[in-house]
């Protein structure tokens, strides 16, 4: 099994509603991804659960007003990646600046 599986929605909701199962993920990714995706205007519901602590997986549910749930997930993952890149760059610049200001020659 891959790191991500998709559980099919029902016929009534089509592609608008999906549950995705992430292997080897938990609250760290789930909480930030939920926070980002739930802000999208076409998202009706977004949430996640970690069914049991002994299982290394997270269930992530997206329900859309318009559009496909998989597209919201893809956009959310890309936005989280950009957020992490920005945080890393900002921290690295601040750390380098701090080291230069406190170095003794």
Question: What is the pLDDT of the chain when averaged over all its residues?
Answer: 91
Q: Which residues contact 48 (CB under 8 A, 6 or more apart)?
A: 30, 31, 33, 34, 58, 59, 60, 61
pLDDT in tens, the chain (105 residues): 458 888 866 667 788 999 999 999 999 999 999 999 999 999 999 999 999 888 889 999 999 999 999 999 999 999 999 999 999 999 999 999 999 888 755
Residue 54's domain comprises 4-103
- What interhelical angle do 69-102 and 27-37 show, nearest 10? 110
Determine the pLDDT at residue 3.
85
Determine the pLDDT at residue 11.
66
Give how many domains the chain has, as a whole number: 1
Could you tell me where the DSSP H helices lie in 1-105?
A: 27-37, 69-102
pTM of the predicted model as reported, rounded to 2 decimal places: 0.83
CATH number of the domain to which 8 belongs: 3.30.1360.10
**Distances 103 to 49, 75, 97 between C-alpha atoms, Å:** 46, 42, 10
């Amino acid at each position: 099994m891959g790191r991500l599986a998709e559980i099919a929605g029902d016929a009534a909701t089509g592609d608008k509603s999906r549950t995705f199962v992430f292997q080897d993920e938990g609250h760290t990714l789930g909480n930030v991804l939920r926070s980002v995706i739930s802000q999208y205007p076409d998202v009706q519901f977004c949430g996640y659960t970690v069914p049991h602590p002994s299982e290394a997986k997270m269930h992530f549910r997206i329900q859309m007003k318009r559009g496909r749930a998989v597209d919201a997930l893809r956009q959310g993952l890309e936005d989280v990646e950009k957020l992490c890149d920005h945080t890393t760059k900002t921290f690295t610049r601040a750390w380098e600046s701090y080291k230069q200001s406190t170095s003794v020659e």
